[in-house]
Each structure stands twice: as structure tokens, then as C-alpha cells.
Amino acid sequence: MKAMVLRAPGELVLDDVARPGLNASHVLVRVTHSGVCGTDLKIYNGAIPVSYPRIMGHEMVGEVVEAGDSHTFRPGERVIVDPELYCGACFHCRIGQTHLCPNGLLVGRDTNGGFAEYVTAPRSHVFRLPDSIDSRTAPLIQVLTTCLHAQRQVNIFPAESVVVFGLGVTGQLHVQLAKARGATVIGITRSAGKRELAEKLGADLTIPGGDGALQQVREATEGRGADLVIETTPPSAWRVRAAGSYSSESSPRKKGPSLFTTSISRSSLSSAPAWRKARTIRAPSPWCNLERSGWSRWSAT
């Protein structure tokens, strides 16, 4: 089969490789669409180390070719593959925290992934796609599960103000989820095109990044500031200071606004503002298995 093979950092080639073998408990999927994630870019440039050669790609959808000894799937059915592999036996797996499995693997990073014509996956990690979701859009479901998992770490109350820093794919999904929960959503990015898209997707207000953003957030919230700040880009010190400086005494959170970051960064951040003002800072894992995420309910909206 054809596959995009990463031989070394920055060395990606189209190559002929053996089609993955199929055992009784796995499903062979012909990949029709595969998303390119920031994780893939970090693997490509060597920021995330992997063993080589490696076939990247963890946001993949396709059609069933063979289903081992399972009668659950039929050839030709459209499916999405959950890339988060876990042992199922450790403490975290037994209590449902499969994203914290110490034996866990990620397809496309630790095993070969979806930048190929075919991929195999345990049948427990293969899910039918409803007709309402087209295959070109479906790779976003994996990103959606990340956002759902992150927002479950904090309760978003109706009428709260939620600020989303960074309006890439993850940020745009956070905008829609927060809006669906009844929040007033403010998006911040320097990109005019991304601000326009966020407003089409439901953001109440978008603001260019920069020092003036803090004052604009205060003005938009009658001086109250953000109840929740969602950081989807590598956090910088001024952003964390900004979160710590918001006043939100009337928030249902009582002790002030929360911040969570879903980005991967090597930055060093000072926690002093959070300690002084009893803020909460969370960094939820970017991985959440599809079955527990409830993606089918949200992706239909």
C-alpha cells in the first residue's frame, strides 16, 4: 500500500509499505480522510520524538474492509477510528481514566497511523459514522473529543463569560461548545479571518490580540471580566497575568475565574497571580477516548 512515511525529522516521503495484518479482534479500515494535527507537525519537525520510520496521522476515517471474526461491522461501512490505545487493566483504565493509562499508546505516534491507504484498529476503537456527518468533516471528531474532555473539567454556567485565546481548529470548537452551554463567548486572536469565522460559529465578540484586549474584555463584561479563560495556543506570561487580573466577584465560581490550557508548550509560567486571587489553572490531557466523550450527541448539533 501507499503511505506517507516519516524517515527522520523533516524527511517525509511517499513510499510503498506492507498492508497491516489483521487479527481476529481487529478491523481493517481503508482510510479515506485523515486530518493533520498540530501533534503531527511536532512529530514531523522532531519536537515530539518517535521511532522511525513512522506513519503519522491520528484523525482518520474510512471504510471497513475486513472485520476479523466480528459480525459487528460490514464491509463498506463508514467508520472513525479512536487513536487512543490503552491496556484496560491498570488502575486508571479500571476507573475510566483511559487517557492516563501508563501503558497507553497513540496511533500515529507510537504505532503507525492514518497517513496511509489502510490502518488496523481494535474493534472496540472503531465507530460507525452517522449519515449526517460527511467523511471530510469527520476527522474533526477526534479534536472535538479533546474539547469535550477539557470543558468537563470545569462547569460552564449559563450567562458566564468565556474567553477563548487562539481561534484555530481547537479554539473554534471551544467557541461552539461554550456557546451551546449558554455562555457569552469572546474570542481573541490576531487573525481577522479567524475572528470572522468565530463570529459565524457563535462568538458574541472577537478581539484582536494585544495589550488592549484586556480592557476590551472588561468593557464587554461590564467590568466583571472573564469567568473562564480557555487557552488553545502556547501560553505566554501576559495571558496568565491577564487571567489573574480579571475581577469576577459575581461569578458562580465564587473564588474568581478559572483558566485552562489545552496547548503543548515548554513555557515557564508564574503561578503567583493564581495563588493571590484563588484562581484555578487546569491543563487537561489532550486525549479522551471516543466512547466516553459523548461525541455523537454533540457532533449532531
Residue 249 scores a pLDDT above 70: no
Non-local CB neighbours of 270 within 8 Å, separated by 6+ positions: 237, 240
For residue 156, the model assigns a pLDDT of 86
For residue 122, the model assigns a pLDDT of 94
Q: How confident is the model at residue 269 (pLDDT cuts 50, 70, 90)?
A: very low
Cβ count within 10 A of residue 46:
12
Q: How confident is the model at residue 261 (pLDDT cuts 50, 70, 90)?
A: low
Q: How confident is the model at residue 282 (pLDDT cuts 50, 70, 90)?
A: low
Burial letters for 3-33: b for 16+ Cβ neighbours within 10 Å, e otherwise? Answer: bbbbeeeeeeeeeebeebeeeeebbbbbbbb
For residue 280, the model assigns a pLDDT of 54
Kind and range of the H or E element at 182?
none
189-238 per-position pLDDT tens digit: 999 999 999 999 999 999 998 778 888 888 898 887 888 888 888 655 34
For residue 238, the model assigns a pLDDT of 43
C-alpha cell at 167: 481561534
Kind and range of the H or E element at 295?
helix 295-299
Single-letter amino acid, residue 242:
A
Q: Among the listed ranges 27-36, 54-63, 276-285, which one has the minimum average pLDDT value?
A: 276-285
For residue 231, the model assigns a pLDDT of 84
Q: How confident is the model at residue 289 (pLDDT cuts 50, 70, 90)?
A: low
Domains in the chain with CATH codes: 2-139+289-299 (3.90.180.10), 154-282 (3.40.50.720)
Q: 258 — phi, psi (to 5°)?
A: -110, 160
Q: How confident is the model at residue 73 (pLDDT cuts 50, 70, 90)?
A: very high
Residue 258 scores a pLDDT above 80: no
